[in-house]
Amino acid sequence: MYEFFNRINEIKPGIRLDAGQPDIPVREEIIEETVASLRRGETGYISSSGMGELRERIAEAEGVSPEEVIVGPGSKILIAAEIAMADRIAVIAPYWSAYVLIARQFGKEVEVIRTRLEEEWRPRLEELNADLLILNYPNNPTGRVLSRSELKEILELAEETGAKVLSDEIYAELSFMDFTPVRELYENAVTVKGFSKLYSMTGFRLGYAIADREEIARIRHFMESTVTCVPPFVQRAGIKALELRDELVDDVRKEYMRRAKLASRILRGLYFREPEGAFYVFLRVPGDGLAFAERLLDKGVAVFPGVAFGPYRDFIRISLTGSHLEEGLKTIREEVQCAL
Ligand code: PLP
């Protein structure tokens, strides 16, 4: 698979529907604030928990107190902190591959709970043998959002077994239907979110976690001993982004909703579940997904093979964040029809 990823970078295809890299530009005000902060000389080490002002703004937006918030350089490292502190991890497949890669990095056992397209990607947990269950809704790669009652069902089992739940809600604002934050239903929850998707700030590396104070202290310890802090000028950019939140959130969500509808229209009749959030389509293709993705790459369209997300050999993931989306989707459709 790594060869395939290398080939994408070598070939530089014209249509990039592979990575979850938003193409909506970062707002100018955010860039200006970053530069202004640098010019003011905000270039040194600061607190490992994050700037007070940023934590206050996050707390306000999330309806929690600033002591229940910690910022980190991207949500991925906060996820890593949680995985490092756990013994056995459970993930629901298909999953964002980083969970498993991080767990391997720390030598942790991973239980994979498989879901199926035929069952509308509905998780059916019969038992749970982990002390950390990772949930990710809206989901990368399926675009699935769980209803409150579906969530409750899962959380009941977590409660019974005493598992902590790590809820990766990085796509929460990009949900096209009612979204319930896990922490509303479950006390022993850690929520991670970030600025990469809604604000397109992937390269800024800025995310945050919400949890009770004791858990925040443990994450802080991890941050102090590893990354030290998020650069102050990046945190200033985050404060500015939150100031713009109300102004841009509906437009960004509507834009991705429009793209999801476009994809559903072009791919109608093929096997996938229409996304309810985030910006991906997880599509079943005839034959092997990696071979399919290679053929598409030869036609100038990059997508990820399903095996990057668990045991899904006959799937591909299409990211709706690239340019020439319509043309790319049509090429994918033709390729499926050709292979049938
Ligand atoms: N969580 C999920 C489910 C993602 O898809 C991604 C990025 O693709 C991230 C987290 C990473 O976010 P960050 O840039 O904040 O590390």
- pLDDT given at position 322: 87
Number of domains in the chain: 2
- pLDDT given at position 184: 96
Q: Cα–Cα distances in Å, from 120 out to 76, 123, 142, 145, 315?
A: 27, 9, 10, 11, 15
Query: Within this chain, do residues 98 and 132 fall inside the same structural domain, yes or no?
Result: yes
Closest ligand 1 atom to 19 CA: 8
| Token pair listed for 217 | 């202290």
- pLDDT given at position 330: 98
Tell me which of 244, 265, 280 is where a domain ends: 244
Q: Is 22 in the pocket of ligand 1 (CB under 6 A)?
A: no
Distance 77 CA to ligand 1 centre (A): 10
Query: Within this chain, do residues 79 and 192 fall inside the same structural domain, yes or no?
Result: yes
Q: Cα–Cα distances in Å, from 311 out to 92, 138, 266, 289, 290?
A: 11, 20, 26, 11, 12
Distance 302 CA to ligand 1 centre (A): 19
What is the best residue among 76, 195, 234, 317 to mutate for testing ligand 1's pocket, by most ligand atoms within 8 Å of CB?
Answer: 76
- pLDDT given at position 14: 93
| Closest alpha carbon to 139 in 270, 275, 251, 16 | 275
What is this model's ipTM?
A: 0.99
| Token pair listed for 20 | 């979850």
- pLDDT given at position 23: 95
Alpha carbons 96 and 74: distance in angstroms, whole number:
15
Cβ-Cβ contacts under 8 Å for 253 (sequence gap 6 or more): 173, 174, 175, 176
| Closest alpha carbon to 241 in 51, 41, 54 | 54
Q: H or E stretch including 61?
A: helix 52-62
Tell me which of 244, 276, 295 is where a domain ends: 244
SS3 call for 145: coil
- Which residue's C-alpha comes closest to atom 8 of ligand 1? 20
Other C-beta atoms lying within 10 Å of the C-beta of residue 90:
25
Q: Is 193 in the pocket of ligand 1 (CB under 6 A)?
A: no
Q: Is 319 in the pocket of ligand 1 (CB under 6 A)?
A: no
- CB distance 186 to 155 below 8 Å: yes
What is the best residue among 18, 193, 197, 321 to mutate for testing ligand 1's pocket, by most ligand atoms within 8 Å of CB?
Answer: 197
Distance 76 CA to ligand 1 centre (A): 6
| Closest alpha carbon to 191 in 212, 209, 174 | 209
- pLDDT given at position 339: 81
Q: Which residues of the chain have pLDDT under 50?
A: none
Residue 211 belongs to a domain with what CATH number? Answer: 3.40.640.10
Distance 340 CA to ligand 1 centre (A): 34
Distance 63 CA to ligand 1 centre (A): 22
Q: Is 75 in the pocket of ligand 1 (CB under 6 A)?
A: yes
Query: Within this chain, do residues 144 and 204 fall inside the same structural domain, yes or no?
Result: yes
- pLDDT given at position 129: 92
- pLDDT given at position 340: 77
Query: Within this chain, do residues 237 and 265 fall inside the same structural domain, yes or no?
Result: no
Distance 339 CA to ligand 1 centre (A): 32
| Closest alpha carbon to 98 in 164, 26, 20 | 20
Q: Cα–Cα distances in Å, from 255 out to 24, 151, 213, 225, 242?
A: 9, 27, 36, 40, 19
- CB distance 142 to 121 below 8 Å: yes
Predicted TM-score (pTM) of this structure: 0.97
- Which residue's C-alpha comes closest to atom 7 of ligand 1? 20
Query: Within this chain, do residues 131 and 66 fall inside the same structural domain, yes or no?
Result: yes
Query: Within this chain, do residues 12 and 125 fall inside the same structural domain, yes or no?
Result: no
Q: How many residues does this entry show for the chain? A: 340
Q: Cα–Cα distances in Å, from 268 out to 17, 272, 328, 331, 332?
A: 18, 9, 15, 14, 12
- What is the extent of the structural domain holding 125? 28-244
Residue pLDDT, tens place only, 63-110: 999 999 999 999 999 999 999 999 999 999 999 999 999 999 999 999
Residue 330 belongs to a domain with what CATH number? Answer: 3.90.1150.10
